[in-house]
Amino acid sequence: MQNVMKLPIALVTGLFFGLGSVAAQAHGDVTPHPIDTTGLKPLGKDWVEPNPYRGDAKAVAIGAVGYYHNCAACHGLNAVSGGMAPDLLASGKDCLDMESKDQQASCMKDNDDYFKTVVMEGKKNSEGRVTMPAYDKVFTQEAVWAVKAYIDKRTAEDHDK
Ligand code: HEC
Q: Kindly tell me the sign of the dihedral angle through the C-alpha atoms of 53, 59, 60, 62.
A: negative
Question: What is the DSSP pairing of strand 123-124 with strand 130-132?
Answer: antiparallel
The finding on whether 73 has its CB within 6 A of some atom of ligand 1 is yes
The finding on whether 85 has its CB within 6 A of some atom of ligand 1 is yes
Position 18 pLDDT exceeds 50: no
**pTM greater than 0.95 (yes/no):** no
Structure confidence by residue, pLDDT tens digits, 86-112: 999 999 999 999 999 999 999 999 999
User: Hey, where are the domains in the chain?
Assistant: 1-30, 31-160
Candidate of 30, 75, 88, 89 to mutate for ligand 1, largest count of ligand atoms within 8 Å of Cβ: 75
What 3 state SS string does 66-83 have? HHHHHCHHHHCHHHCCCC
pLDDT for res 104: 97
Assigned CATH class of 31-160 = mainly alpha
The finding on whether 96 has its CB within 6 A of some atom of ligand 1 is no
Q: Whose CA is nearest to atom 43 of ligand 1?
A: 132
DSSP label at residue 91: H
Position 6 pLDDT exceeds 60: no
Rounded average pLDDT over 31-45: 95
Position 28 pLDDT exceeds 80: no
Distance 92 CA to ligand 1 centre (A): 15
**Buried residues in 43-58 as b, exposed as e (16+ CB within 10 A):** beeeeeebbbbbebee
Contact 151, 54 (CB under 8 A): no
Distance 37 CA to ligand 1 centre (A): 21
